């Protein structure tokens, strides 16, 4: 991960590339929408099936484990002719099927099966969206990843609002109707991705005939060799993995424990307990909308470093909060910084193994769920043993570690904008 200026150049943006960008954005938004709807429906599931917090924690852990299985499956599917487009399409279909099962489950055992299926789809969609986004960014020749993640944040906010507004107004038994709508959206976007998603590059054609490299007779008669295994530089990948874990530890800790922090530590009641997480979500959306222009101006490494420092500063405000207002501001500041870390990790990943970006993204995606488990379980365990303030101290230290290694992230340098235009390659792109 060199810190030298990126070799990206501004490419010609064809209508097909624009359509691929829209399709990938829709995939990110759908993932955020359904994830938020499932997460905010957990309270209703507790009441519906008479289960306790420990059971819910076990379900969440199971989803993370199955998401790892989905990520492994995504790596395999990405090596087929369908590529990452097939990964994302299939993942959205799996998510749609899982939400149907979860929404209509008559007993808890069926609900658990539905969540297991959802975990597989979650891993496939996470990997597929990032694979598509990295490839589209390469096609465009400029930073686009934070914009894709902004679509995820917008979908998450919309899903949270949909469940909040419908609570006690729309029935959840025997069918969680609002949650079931997530299946309809997932299927519609799967069709969009299948039709408009970014396709793998193909060899150019001349007068309708595909051009292939010349081979001698012996090579032509030899049996085909399997695709070579990608040579993944694990050292640099682990650096990015640390940053991904740091982000998801914080994200899961804030989404799971911020209302409890506001309630138990700051003695806040009512709607105010939810405002910390709401402020966090809102500022992740704002920072992601601003992230790509910042990367184009100052480079990826600088943006990651500043984002990590801002995120740690926000967590420091939370740790020292004596009033709910300070904690809400702290969560908002944390969101402004943390929201940029994950997309820029995947943005940096594409340069690790040229020609094998999908394989790198699939492996990096596995770190998501390590962070999610640590944020949801370990932070709460520390808080239960002492005080939840100390539970948030550990994520803050991890974010500062990201600031230390930010120089290893490479950059999409402003000089990219003045680089000579790339020569169009027939048949390349979406």
d(CA 342, CA 331): 17
DSSP annotation string for 44-74: HHHHHHT--HHHHHHHHHHHHHHHHHHHHHH
Which tens digits make up the pLDDT trace of 87-146? 999 999 999 999 999 999 999 999 999 999 999 999 999 999 999 999 999 999 888 999
Is 80 exceeded by the pLDDT of residue 285? Answer: yes
Share of residues in the chain with pLDDT > 90 (%)? 53
Q: Give me the pLDDT at residue 112, please.
A: 95
One DSSP character per residue, 96-158 reads HHHHHHHHH-SSHHHHHHHHHHHHHHHHHHHHHHHHHHHHHHHHHTS--HHHHHHHHHHHHHH
Q: Which has more confidence, 14 or 172?
A: 14
- Same fold flag, 13-199 and 234-419: yes
Contact present, 373 and 64 (Cβ < 8 Å): yes
Rounded CA-CA distance 225/175 in Å is 51
Dihedral over alpha carbons 104, 106, 112, 115 (to 10 degrees): 0
Task: Report in angstroms the alpha-carbon separations of 358 from 71, 80, 92, 164.
Answer: 11, 11, 18, 36
User: Model confidence at 426, in pLDDT bands (50, 70, 90)?
Assistant: very low
DSSP category for residue 416: G
- The pLDDT assigned to 199 comes to 87
Residue 152 exposed, middle or buried by CB count within 10 Å (0-12, 13-18, 19+): buried
Task: From 126, 63, 61, 70, select the one nearest 376 (Cα to Cα).
Answer: 61
pTM value is 0.81
- Least Cα distance to 74 among 64, 59, 89 occurs for 89
Bond preceding residue 203 cis, omega within 30 of 0: no
Average pLDDT, the chain: 84
CA distances from 267 to 28, 154, 255, 328, 385 (A): 36, 30, 18, 14, 19
* Residue 42 pLDDT level (bands cut at 50, 70, 90): confident
Q: Tell me the domain boundaries of the chain.
A: 13-199, 234-419
pLDDT tops 60 at residue 46: yes
**Angle separating helix axes 234-260 and 272-298, nearest 10 degrees:** 150
Tens of pLDDT along 332-377? 999 999 999 999 999 888 778 777 888 889 999 999 999 988 887 7
Quickly state the pLDDT bin for 41 (edges 50, 70, 90): confident
What is the C-alpha separation between 197 and 179, in angstroms, rounded?
26
Of the listed ranges 205-219, 355-369, 380-394, the least confidently predicted one is 205-219
pLDDT at site 230: 64
More confident residue, 59 or 382: 59
Report whether pLDDT(152) > 50.
Answer: yes
Q: What average pLDDT does this structure show over 79-88?
A: 94
Beta bridge partners of 209: 206
Asked if the model's pLDDT at residue 316 lies above 60, the reply is: yes
Predicted confidence (pLDDT) at residue 11 exceeds the cutoff of 70: no
> 13-199: which CATH architecture?
Up-down Bundle (1.20)
The kind and range of the H/E element at 205 are strand 205-206
With CA atoms as reference, report the closest residue to 350 among 339, 368, 338, 362. 362
Specify the fold of 234-419: Growth Hormone; Chain: A; (1.20.1250)
Q: Is the pLDDT of residue 248 over 60?
A: yes
pLDDT at 224 over 80: no
> According to the model, what pLDDT value does residue 228 have?
56
């Amino acid at each position: 991960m060199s810190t030298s200026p990126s070799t990206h150049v501004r490419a010609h943006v064809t209508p097909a590339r624009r359509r691929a960008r829209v399709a990938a954005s829709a995939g990110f938004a759908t993932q955020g929408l359904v994830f938020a709807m499932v997460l905010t429906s957990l309270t209703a599931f507790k009441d519906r099936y008479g289960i306790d917090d420990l059971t819910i924690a076990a379900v969440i852990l199971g989803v993370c484990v199955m998401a790892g299985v989905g990520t492994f499956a995504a790596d395999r599917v990405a090596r087929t002719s369908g590529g990452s487009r097939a990964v994302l399409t299939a993942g959205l279909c799996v998510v749609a099927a899982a939400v149907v099962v979860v929404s209509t489950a008559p007993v808890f055992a069926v609900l658990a099966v539905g969540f297991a299926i959802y975990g597989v789809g979650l891993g496939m969609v996470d990997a597929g969206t990032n694979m598509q986004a990295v490839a589209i960014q390469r096609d465009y020749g400029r930073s686009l990843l934070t914009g894709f993640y902004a679509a995820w944040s917008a979908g998450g906010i919309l899903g949270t609002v949909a469940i909040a507004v419908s609570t006690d107004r729309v029935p959840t038994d025997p069918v969680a109707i609002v949650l079931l709508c997530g299946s309809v959206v997932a299927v519609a976007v799967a069709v969009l991705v299948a039709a408009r998603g970014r396709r793998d590059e193909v060899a150019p054609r001349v007068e309708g005939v595909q051009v292939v490299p010349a081979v001698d007779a012996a090579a032509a008669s030899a049996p085909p060799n399997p695709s070579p295994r990608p040579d993944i530089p694990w050292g640099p990948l682990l650096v990015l993995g640390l940053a991904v874990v740091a982000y998801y530890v914080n994200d899961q800790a804030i989404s799971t424990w911020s209302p409890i922090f506001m309630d138990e530590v700051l003695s806040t009641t009512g709607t105010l307990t939810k405002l910390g997480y709401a402020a966090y979500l809102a500022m992740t959306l704002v920072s992601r909308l601003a992230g790509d222009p910042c990367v184009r101006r100052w480079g990826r490494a600088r943006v990651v470093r500043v984002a990590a420092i801002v995120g740690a500063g926000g967590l420091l405000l939370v740790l020292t909060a004596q009033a709910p207002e300070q904690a809400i501001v702290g969560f908002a500041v944390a969101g402004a910084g943390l929201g940029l870390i994950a997309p820029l990790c995947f943005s940096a990943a594409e340069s690790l193994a040229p020609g094998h970006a999908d394989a790198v993204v699939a492996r990096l995606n596995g770190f998501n769920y390590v962070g999610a488990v640590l944020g949801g379980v370990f932070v709460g365990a520390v808080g239960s043993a002492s005080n939840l303030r100390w539970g948030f101290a550990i994520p803050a230290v991890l974010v500062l570690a990201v600031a230390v290694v930010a120089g290893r992230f490479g950059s999409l340098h402003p000089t990219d904008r003045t680089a000579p235009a790339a020569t169009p390659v027939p048949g390349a792109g979406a």
